[in-house]
Structure 1
Amino acid sequence: MGDLANCPRCGALFLKGPLDVCQNCYQEEEEKFDLVYQFIRQKKNRMATVLEVSSETGVEEKLIMKWVHQKRLHPAQFPNLTYPCERCSNPIREGKLCKDCADELKEGFNDEQPKTIAEKEAEYEKNRAYINVSKWES
């Protein structure tokens, strides 16, 4: 069972479950989605950007980017529909980070990993002890 929450769009109280907005706002979003989808399905509009789709349909850019992020509007079919990278705001078609930001983070992790291994080896050597078993047997 979901939690009670206020709708981020209209402020109404609703039972939060798989939907992140109330039922009325969800229906409005679905109507807007149908409008956007009908617009970009036309051959002349398939190469439209989020800004162009927004200005032609009157649907907020944020909502269109949400659908692209959710893969409801597939970038393979509509290649100019993008949303911003969460780190640098460059336009991307999938994931949360652009390739440059992802590579930079991987490089940072790789730089830190050897230090951690070296630190663990140093701690092991420091705590290593020698026990003479024959001393305790007599």
Structure 2
Amino acid sequence: MELKNCTKCGRAFAYTGSDLCSRCDNTDEEDFKKVKDYLYDHPGANILEVSEATEVSEKKILKFLRENRIEIREADNLLLGCERCAAPIRSGKFCDKCAAQLKKEFSSILQTNKTEPDKPKITTKSNKMYTAEIRKKFK
């Protein structure tokens, strides 16, 4: 069991894959539900309206956008930009073009690693390892 400190409140907790303790993680989920419900009732609302109506910070709403949990309706927005080329995006971290390029680069790296031959195994008698009893048999 690995112990970590919560990035939000600083409390120690058993790490389960999230950087937040269970208490803070639950509040994040509650905030997401508020934002989601508000956007369901008010589609097209801007980030300021959502923040004021739900009392969820703009920073947290941007986090939900980066996590692909919600998205911006308009294609030409000034809130979110691709982390690679800075093109405006609706949600996530990368635009479709950069995501495709990254996927292609990663798959080519994986394929080159698969096609490279394994290193030849050294099989000379002097490089082999034995227990002391078996070695005596070879002498």
TM-score range, shorter chain: 0.5 to 0.7
Paired letter, 1:55 = E
Structure 1 partner of 2:26: 27
> 1:17 deviation in Å?
2.3
Does the C-alpha gap of structure 1 residues 97 and 34 become closer, same or farther in structure 2, counting only changes over 3 Å?
A: closer
CA deviation profile, 1:59-117 (whole Å, cap 9, x unmatched): 011211222222222x2xx51585344368775224434589x5xxxxxxxxxxxxxxx
Q: Which blocks of at least 5 consecutive residues in structure 1 are unaligned?
A: 103-138
Distance 1:15 1:89 in 2: 37
Structure 2 partner of 1:18: 17
Distance 2:85 2:53 in 1: 27
Structure 1 partner of 2:132: none
Distance 1:39 1:94 in 2: 18
- Confirm or deny: 8 A CA contact 2:82 2:93 kept in the other structure: yes
- Pair 1:79 & 2:79 matched: no
Distance 2:47 2:34 in 1: 14
Structure 1 partner of 2:48: 51
Does the C-alpha gap of structure 1 residues 19 and 59 become closer, same or farther in structure 2, counting only changes over 3 Å?
A: same
Q: Which blocks of at least 5 consecutive residues in structure 2 are unaligned?
A: 99-139
Does the C-alpha gap of structure 1 residues 34 and 21 become closer, same or farther in structure 2, counting only changes over 3 Å?
A: same
Pick the aligned partner of 1:61 from 41, 58, 65: 58
Structure number having the greater strand percentage? 1
Distance 1:35 1:95 in 2: 20
> 1:30 deviation in Å?
1.2
RMSD, matched Cα: 3.1
> 1:12 deviation in Å?
0.5
Structure-1-length-normalised TM-score: 0.55
Structure 1 partner of 2:3: 4
Structure number having the greater helix percentage? 1
Distance 2:49 2:84 in 1: 24
Distance 1:72 1:15 in 2: 25
Paired letter, 2:90 = R
